[in-house]
Amino acid sequence: MYTRLKFNNKSKSPFMATVRSRVECYFSESNLSPNANGMMWVKTLIFLGGFLCLYILLISNIFSFWPLLLIGALLGVFSAFVGFNICHDAIHGAFSSNKIVNALLGGVFHLLGASPYVWSITHNGVHHTYTNIPGHDEDIEVASGLIRLSEEDPVNKVQRFQHWYAFPLYSLASLSWAFRKDFKKFFQARIGQTAVKHPKIEYFNLFFYKLLYYFLFIALPLIVLSVSWWQFLIVFLIMHLTQGLTMGLVFQLAHVVEGTEFPVPSKSGNMEEAWAEHQMHTTANFAAQNRLVSFLLGGLNRQIEHHLFPKICHTHYGKISSIVKETALEFNIPYIENPSFFAALKSHYRILRRFSRESTKKICTAG
C-alpha cells in the first residue's frame, strides 16, 4: 500500500514566503529576467559547440586509437557539462520563458543517451519534491542496495567495502542511463511512490530517440572508423565512464554529505517540516565561491538555490545566494555548504565509510 506524503505547511512556510519575496524584489529592482542572460548563452555556445566538435572529431576517421581514446574521454566530460549547463535548466523551464526554446534545448538530452521526459518525472517531479526521503527519492537509491547512505537503507555484507567501490560504481551511471534506467523507470507503475501514466507519443519518443542515440554513437562510428570494433568499444566505454563519474560525483555531493538529513515520514505519511525547510535540511552547496566550478557545473554546486528556485536560470544563483543565506540565518534554518569540491568529496567519503562500518556492525550483531 502506498502512502502519499504530506509536508507540514500549516504555517505556509514564512521562510519561503520571505525569501521568495526578496528574490522577486531583486529581479524587479535590477530589471532582470530570471531566465537566461548573456552569460548563459555564451555557456550554451561553448559547451554545445565543444560537444559537437568533439563528436565530429570522433567520427572523422583521421585519428588512431590513442587520440580517439582522449577524444572519447573529453566527449564524456563535455556531455556531462552540456547536461549540467543546458539541458538541466531547459527541462526545468528555467532557460527561457519560451516553452519551445526549453523543449529544443531540453531535447539535447537525447544526444547524451538520456530521456528528458523520464528525467522531468524522476528529477523535477519526484526528487525535487521528496528530496532525500528513503523510499520516495529514487535519486538516492544507488545500485539496488550496493551502497548504503542512510539508516533506512537495507544492510548487506558487501556494503562493508562500499567506500572502495562507490566511485567506480558512480562511473556506470551514464551507461545505465543509456541502456537500462530510462526503460526501467518508464515502464514502472510508480516512480518513487508516485503513480505515472504516459502519453502515447512518449512511447514512440523513448524508443525512437534511444535508437537514434545508438546509431549516432555506436553504429555510425563502427561504420566510418578504421579502428577495430574492440578498440571502439573501449573508446565508447571510456566516454561513458567519464560522463558517469562526472555526473555521479556532482549529484552525490549535493545531497549526501555530512549535515544533510534523510527524513522519515510518519506512518500516516506526514513530514514534520514544511517543504522549503525540508529542502534546506537535505541539500548542500559546495565550492560556491569558485568561479570555474560554478561555470562548469551549471550551478549544481549551488543546489540550495536551485532546489528553492528551480525556475530561475542558474547564472543568477551567485547573486541570489546571499539573499537565501541571510534569510536562512534570520529564520534559524541551516544553510549547509562545503568550501570546496574536495571538501565536499571528503565529506561524502566519510559518509560512505561511516555506513560501511555500521553495516558491518549490524551484520555481526545479527549473526
Q: What is the pLDDT of residue 357?
A: 84
Q: What is the pLDDT of residue 366?
A: 57
Span 154-173, average pLDDT: 91
**Three-class secondary structure of residue 270 per DSSP:** strand
Q: What percent of the chain has pLDDT over 70?
A: 95
Span 150-179, average pLDDT: 90
| pLDDT range class, residue 11, cuts 50, 70, 90 | low
What are 60-98's pLDDT values in tens digits?
Answer: 999 999 999 999 999 999 999 999 999 999 999 999 999
| pLDDT range class, residue 142, cuts 50, 70, 90 | low
Task: Read off the DSSP letter of residue 269.
Answer: S
Alpha helices in the chain (DSSP H): 14-30, 38-59, 65-82, 88-92, 99-106, 116-119, 162-170, 173-176, 182-186, 200-214, 220-224, 229-255, 275-282, 291-296, 303-308, 317-330, 341-366
Closest Cα to residue 159, out of 342, 346, 347, 351?
Answer: 351
Check whether 1 has a pLDDT greater than 60.
no
Check whether 2 has a pLDDT greater than 60.
no
Q: What is the pLDDT of residue 13?
A: 83
Mean pLDDT of the chain: 92
CA-CA distances (angstroms) from residue 214 to 58, 155, 211, 236, 325?
15, 37, 5, 11, 44
pTM for the complete prediction? 0.93
- Residue 285's φ and ψ, nearest 5 degrees, are -95, 160
Angle, in degrees to the nearest 10, between helices 65-82 and 38-59: 150
d(CA 34, CA 24): 9
**113, 236 contact by CB (below 8 A):** no
| pLDDT range class, residue 161, cuts 50, 70, 90 | very high
What are 245-289's pLDDT values in tens digits?
Answer: 999 999 999 999 999 999 988 887 888 889 999 999 999 999 999
Alpha helices in 171-274 (DSSP H): 173-176, 182-186, 200-214, 220-224, 229-255
d(CA 362, CA 203): 44
Q: Which residue has the higher pLDDT, 359 or 99?
A: 99
Q: What is the pLDDT of residue 367?
A: 54
Q: What percent of the chain has pLDDT over 90?
A: 79
End-to-end CA distance of the chain: 31
Check whether 337 has a pLDDT greater than 90.
yes
Q: Show the cell assigned to 116.
A: 528528458
